[in-house]
Structure 1
Amino acid sequence: MLSVLGCIVYENNLYLVFLAAIICLLGSTVFLRLVQRTENTGGVHRIGWQFLAAVAGGGSVWATHFVGMLAFEPQAPVSFDPVITVLSLVVAMVGLFVSLIIGNLRRGRVHAAVAGAFCGLSFAGMHYLGMFAYRVVGLVEWRMDYVVASILLTVVFTAAARALSWKVRKPKPFFAAVGLLVLAIIGLHFTGMTAFRVTPMTGVFPRVDSQAIMALALAIAVVAMIIVGMGAASYLIDTKVREESKAQLHHMAAHDPLTGLPNRACFRDYLENVLDVAEGDGSQVGVIAIDLNRFKEVNDTLGHAAGDEVLKTLAQRLDQSLEQGEFIARLGGDEFAAVRTFVDKEEMTAFGDKLASLFSLPMKVVGMTTAVGASMGAAVWPTDAAEPDELLNNADLAMYHAKHGLLETLCFYDADIASEVRERRQLAEDLRLALENDELEVHYQVQMALDGEHIHGYEALLRWHHPEKGSISPAVFIPIAEENGLIGPVGAWVLRRSCRDASHWLPPYRVAVNVSAVQFMDANLPNLVQEVLLETGLSPDRLELELTETALIKDQARSLHIMRQIKALGVGIALDDFGTGYSSLGTLRTFPFDKIKLDKSFIDDVGQDRQSKAIIRAILALGKSLDIPVLAEGIETSEQMELLRAEGCDEGQGFLLGRPSPNSALAGQGGPKQRKNEEAA
């Protein structure tokens, strides 16, 4: 050890020794960082990083060795064999590249140490090949014990450095590994130089040009710093790109790609954090569940691109309106959720009012002005729930209550709301099961001519007998079906069952089937009607679809197109509940109806209310002038019957003429009989 220190102090130019040490330190740091990068990549990228690490590491080790050789002062003229010198650089780089490939053949700290040992051997090969390129005028002898010690030292220290730096993220172990690698390189060089003994030859030789030596050393150092700098720059650029990509991926994972608002996962994390903070400072946390009211209408009438534009516009409004302590996320589709910490409940109400105003503001979409509005329900921590999921679920319950009640102001959760909404949700699930298990029924109510009281047809009316709750009114379960996306399947089932029943009637009466606004806006409805007619064998002129004005006014052009397709099949179309809409006359002018159904509300008051009688008279006159038959609904008394007959009403329907009955009971009431094959079945 003392011999090595003596060699460094007394036989070397200390300035160049210091320069070699700087090259070694920087090169070792960059080399190990690049080696770590090879461990975290794969495929072609890994080979690229291995090559870059071999070039930077091999170049810096070779430069350390070469500057260290120039620092050595043997008191005799020296020169270098250029071919062997360059070959030593190649050995260093190739040896490092091979060691890195070995290190990545198998993963693990032990394998990294083995690769490190091979790396140390390549350093030793580079050093002693470089020594053979060293030409000195004098007698040279080698002390083999120091040669062996230098090789063992670099192999052990390099193996330890590679093992210590493997998969390391903390700075202390990493820089300890850098220190070990520096000791391995410096120790190899100076222990090897201690083994190298030169006895100068006697005679007159030209003096060594120290300035030339210094210039050469600096030139090598500059080249080495360029190589190391390129490796460092590559590492830093890649690290920056990785960090930006990671940040971008994190943002993408936490935010909705369409609106840029936080998504459901981000909302959950934020809510958990806010609840933790609120638990410490005693504040309350409110969660608002939000569902857009007329978003589906925008999608259906203006297209999905317009729907996306609505969502982006709303998101921009919401994001710009948020203040400290407020947070909003898009959970999916047209569902949003907001969070606010507060002390006084009035703060939460004011927050809800602000959101409601933003959702109800008109906006321009594809050249049209529209407004969607929203139903909002709020739940408060810790009053309404203790856990995040329960809190959001209770806010959802309050929101569904607001939607059912057509409210566009904030509705706060309470136990009664929860009970009502859960009951509606359970009914929706029960209705889904009833549809799957064919537990629904269709009853038929007669429609008769009022002049001769002969039967024209029957209206199909859906009935549901719940196994536990008994008979449930259509006024209850039809809205539930619409809210839960069941109205389409339910409507298709009623159409198919009614047509199948009517196809077996003798005589062949007409059957009228109600079509909801949601079902009518489905562009596939004409195809469904045609498919059912072909499947059941029912003649198209025996089917009549009943529509309300609500089903038509949302998108008149689309409604007219669908209506014309249906009429082209030979199916009749009746306008149901006439007189209750705000655009009845315009509707009659625009759409080609085959029948008008006078709403029951006018018939109920016809005996006592002069206005009702006048309206009935006007509607009947309008029907005759347009050559459209009029059917009066809800006839329950003989007085109503006589008055309608006197006014020239074409058809009637109501309890006085016949109550809704199952298909099997119609024959017993003077209605159609079943075909023989149907009776046998």
Structure 2
Amino acid sequence: MFTVLSCVVYAHNIWLVLLAAVLCLSGSWVTARLFRRAGQTTGMLRVGWHFLTALAAGVAIWCTHFVAMLGFYAGTPVGFNPSLTILSLLIAVIGSSLGFVLGGSRLFKFAPAVGGAVVGLAIAAMHYTGMIAYRVQGIVTWDQRYLVASILLAVGFSALALQLGTRKGKYANDILAGVLAFAIVALHFTGMTAFNVAPLEIDGAYSDPEAFRALALAVTGMAALIVAAGLASYLIDDKTRTENIEMLRQMATTDALTALPNRQGFEARLEFELSLAAEQRHKLALARIDLTRFKEINDLRGHKVGDSVLRNLGQRISDLLHQENGEFVARVGGDEFAAIFRMTGGRDIATFLEKIERVMHAPIRLEGSEIHPRASLGVSIYPDDADDAETLISNANLAMYRAKSDISRSICFYEKDMDQRVKERRAMSADLRDAIAHGQLSVAYQVQTRVSTGETLGYEALLRWEHPQLGFISPETFIPLAEESGLILDLGEWVLRTACEDAATWTQPLTVAVNLSAVQFIHADLPKLVRDVLAETRLQPSRLELELTETAVFSDGHRARHLMEQIKQTGVKVALDDFGTGYSSLDTLVSFPFDKIKIDKSFIQEAHSNPQTIAIIRAVVALGRSLGLAVLAEGIESEEQLNMLHMEGCSEGQGYLLGRPSPLKQLVADGAITVNPPRTASSGVARAH
């Protein structure tokens, strides 16, 4: 060991030794990174990276040797054989190529070590080929001990370098570079220790140390350029990979349709904001946003228009956000959004929510028509309502469902008793599903009469639910629940079929009126359902009257008009229910082919105390008469109200004064309705089911 150190210190130019060491370390560092990069690729790309690895390693090995050789004091004139010197370079590059390819192949467990041993042999072969090319004026002898030791050091440490360098770990590259550099340096200086020269004096022979130093610098410069080129390739590729990874990450966390963050982006942002809120001790608001009529848009206009609506809303939201203030909105589902608001510096959450509500409710003009989106917002606040992400989201959802069920407001904040109400609604929804299956539902009929004579004109079919434990449940309670859960389609079809079956048995040619939910009306198969039910029950189409509210037709006038025209082609009548409570009643009457107007009961009940209400009723009756529409007043409960309607010219009436809703059996027992005897199979007119 001391002999080797003495060779380094006393037999070499220390500055060129240091230069060789720097070149060796930098070249090994670049080689290690290129080798690791090659292992991460396949195909021709991997071949290219292996070539760069071998080039960097070969240059580092050869130039370290050559520069150090130029700094060696031989004590006699020296020179170099050009052919053998070039051959030594080729040995370094080709041997390194074979070793690194084998080391990176992972063909067997110790392939890296075997590949490293090949690299070590290449280092040794390069060194001693270079020493043969080294011409000295003297007698050369070799110390076999140091010669063998140098080869063993090169092979052993090169094998160790690749074996350690291919393991996973933060410092694997640095370990590979350091051990490989040591293998190169150990071989060179141990091998030089084995090299002994007995000078011979030859006249005219001399060496030029200045020329050697200049050559050393030139070689170092060229080596540095080659190593730098390999490093540049690695850095450029690494930067490209980083940019590609960032682009992929951006794609993975961004909704392609709206350009807003998606669910994954939202979850990551929420975790960040919650940790920030906990650290800085401020509040954080989470809002869940649901488009209340988006399914209608898709059903009535098609998914292309639906996508355009979402894109439009996404752009509006992006335009209003101030992300630097902690405002964040993501699209987390088909028609669901989520907003995060950092409540710092006295900033008001109400203002932020109003901005969201405003853009979500503003009309959107597409394909020549105007679409009116609506949204329900539910808000929960950290840490007041929850102290973790999952609970915060759950509570915001509860508040959002409350907003959807409350027509008086579109923004709802979480309240602690919402959990219990949601459990109750879920239980009732399950009970309603059971009620359909176990026959707990029934239809009651309320009479509709001519105001002037009291003549019975028909009956309105009203759905009733008698719960086994809770008793009678109002339709105002379970109908919205059925609409939310999707049960309304089954309920609506059952009521329509039952009412038509019953009416088909009546001896009198009375009409039967059936209410249609807004959800049921937009169902694409409604005209077909009406035709099928009429055919199965053999009820005359003119005896069926379908009642719609303005809400059912207001969302998409073009689609609603088309559906109504299809229904009316069957001969069925269509009435506008709850007239006067919608947004644009006069326009609705002019635009849609209704047969009847039903004045909402709120006007009738206020008529005795509000003269303006009587004026409205008078105007509606006159409007109906001018348009050729029958006018029916709902909610008649007193003789005074009936007389007022008679004086104003209202043609039809309905209410408790004229008759309460009753089961068909009761109406038959009272003689209000007579029914035909049941049809039998032998008569050839069996009822269709």
Flag whether TM exceeds 0.5 (same fold).
yes
Structure 1 Cα separation of the partners of residues 592 and 411 of structure 2: 39
Displacement of 1:29 in angstroms is 0.7
Q: Which residue of 2 aligns with 1:308?
A: 311
Q: 1:421 to 1:88 in 2, by over 3 A?
A: same
Match 1:319 to one of 291, 310, 322: 322
CA contact (8 A) 2:20 2:67 kept: yes
Displacement of 1:57 in angstroms is 1.5
Displacement of 1:180 in angstroms is 2.2
Q: 1:672 to 1:558 in 2, by over 3 A?
A: same
Letter in 2 for 1:285: K
CA contact (8 A) 1:442 1:494 kept: yes
Q: 1:360 to 1:107 in 2, by over 3 A?
A: farther
Q: Which residue of 2 aligns with 1:560?
A: 561
CA contact (8 A) 2:293 2:373 kept: yes
Structure 2 Cα separation of the partners of residues 189 and 273 of structure 1: 56
TM-score between the two structures when normalised by the length of structure 2? 0.81
Matched, 1:25 2:28: no
Q: Which residue of 1 aligns with 2:283?
A: 285
Q: Which residue of 2 aligns with 1:120?
A: 120
CA contact (8 A) 2:365 2:371 kept: no
Structure 1 Cα separation of the partners of residues 104 and 500 of structure 2: 72
CA contact (8 A) 1:440 1:463 kept: yes
Q: Which residue of 1 aligns with 2:240?
A: 241
Q: 1:609 to 1:195 in 2, by over 3 A?
A: closer
Q: Which residue of 2 aligns with 1:336?
A: 338
Structure 2 Cα separation of the partners of residues 103 and 564 of structure 1: 78
Q: 1:408 to 1:593 in 2, by over 3 A?
A: closer
Structure 1 Cα separation of the partners of residues 168 and 47 of structure 2: 20
Q: 1:505 to 1:369 in 2, by over 3 A?
A: closer
Structure 1 Cα separation of the partners of residues 502 and 200 of structure 2: 124
Q: Which residue of 1 aligns with 2:188?
A: 189
Task: Give a deviation string over 1:639-670, Cα, whole Å, max 9, x none.
Answer: 76677678765544444555445567665552
Q: Which residue of 1 aligns with 2:104?
A: 104
Q: 1:66 to 1:513 in 2, by over 3 A?
A: farther
Deviates more, 1:330-339 or 1:498-507: 498-507
Task: Give a deviation string over 1:255-301, Cα, whole Å, max 9, x none.
Answer: 666354584312441354145426xxxx4635343436777499568
Structure 2 Cα separation of the partners of residues 226 and 118 of structure 1: 26
Q: Which residue of 2 aligns with 1:157?
A: 157
Structure 1 Cα separation of the partners of residues 539 and 516 of structure 2: 18
Displacement of 1:625 in angstroms is 3.5
Displacement of 1:140 in angstroms is 4.4
Match 2:680 to one of 663, 676, 681: 676
CA contact (8 A) 1:360 1:374 kept: no
Q: Which residue of 1 aligns with 2:591?
A: 590
Q: Which residue of 1 aligns with 2:8?
A: 8
Q: Which residue of 2 aligns with 1:513?
A: 514
Displacement of 1:188 in angstroms is 1.2
Structure 2 Cα separation of the partners of residues 434 and 299 of structure 1: 31
Structure 2 Cα separation of the partners of residues 58 and 439 of structure 1: 88
Identity over aligned pairs, percent: 44
Structure 1 Cα separation of the partners of residues 379 and 525 of structure 2: 38
Structure 2 Cα separation of the partners of residues 137 and 440 of structure 1: 117
Displacement of 1:177 in angstroms is 4.3
CA contact (8 A) 2:506 2:673 kept: no
CA RMSD of aligned residues (A): 4.3
Q: 1:670 to 1:238 in 2, by over 3 A?
A: same
* Residues 180-579 of structure 1 mapped to structure 2, 5 A cutoff: 180-199=179-198, 203-204=202-203, 206-250=205-249, 258-260=258-260, 263-274=265-276, 276-277=278-279, 283=281, 285-291=283-289, 296=294, 303-319=306-322, 323=325, 326-330=326-330, 332=332, 333-340=335-342, 347=346, 350-357=348-355, 359-360=357-358, 365-366=364-365, 378-402=379-403, 404-406=405-407, 413-431=414-432, 434=435, 440-447=441-448, 457-483=458-484, 487-488=488-489, 490-492=491-493, 494-495=495-496, 498=499, 510-521=511-522, 525-526=526-527, 529=530, 540-579=541-580
Q: 1:68 to 1:250 in 2, by over 3 A?
A: same
Q: 1:660 to 1:277 in 2, by over 3 A?
A: same
Structure 2 Cα separation of the partners of residues 118 and 509 of structure 1: 102
Structure 2 Cα separation of the partners of residues 159 and 664 of structure 1: 98
Displacement of 1:24 in angstroms is 0.8
CA contact (8 A) 2:447 2:659 kept: yes
Instruction: State the secondary structure of the residue aligned to 2:545.
Output: strand
CA contact (8 A) 1:509 1:672 kept: no
Letter in 1 for 2:354: A
CA contact (8 A) 1:109 1:163 kept: no
Q: 1:304 to 1:250 in 2, by over 3 A?
A: closer
Q: 1:250 to 1:479 in 2, by over 3 A?
A: same
Letter in 1 for 2:358: S
Structure 2 Cα separation of the partners of residues 328 and 11 of structure 1: 70
* Residues 33-52 of structure 1 mapped to structure 2, 5 A cutoff: 33-42=33-42, 45-52=45-52
Task: Give a deviation string over 1:299-353, Cα, whole Å, max 9, x none.
Answer: 5687432332223322432325x64xx554436244334344569xxx47x3324
Instruction: State the secondary structure of the residue aligned to 1:207.
Output: coil
Displacement of 1:631 in angstroms is 3.4
Task: Give a deviation string over 1:135-154, Cα, whole Å, max 9, x none.
Answer: 55655444433232111101
Q: Which residue of 1 aligns with 2:59?
A: 59
Structure 1 Cα separation of the partners of residues 461 and 50 of structure 2: 78
Letter in 2 for 1:125: A
Structure 2 Cα separation of the partners of residues 210 and 501 of structure 1: 120
Deviates more, 1:23-32 or 1:514-523: 514-523
CA contact (8 A) 1:353 1:409 kept: no
Unaligned runs of 5+ in 1: none
Unaligned runs of 5+ in 2: none
- How many residue pairs end up in the alignment? 668
Deviates more, 1:116-125 or 1:416-425: 416-425
Q: 1:626 to 1:372 in 2, by over 3 A?
A: closer
Q: Which residue of 1 aligns with 2:147?
A: 147
CA contact (8 A) 1:255 1:266 kept: no
Structure 1 Cα separation of the partners of residues 124 and 506 of structure 2: 103
CA contact (8 A) 2:443 2:663 kept: yes
Instruction: State the secondary structure of the residue aligned to 1:475.
Output: helix
CA contact (8 A) 1:20 1:65 kept: yes
Q: 1:381 to 1:600 in 2, by over 3 A?
A: closer
Displacement of 1:133 in angstroms is 4.6
Deviates more, 1:527-536 or 1:583-592: 527-536
Displacement of 1:30 in angstroms is 0.7
Letter in 2 for 1:676: T
Q: Which residue of 2 aligns with 1:95?
A: 95
CA contact (8 A) 1:360 1:373 kept: no
Letter in 1 for 2:193: T
Displacement of 1:575 in angstroms is 1.3
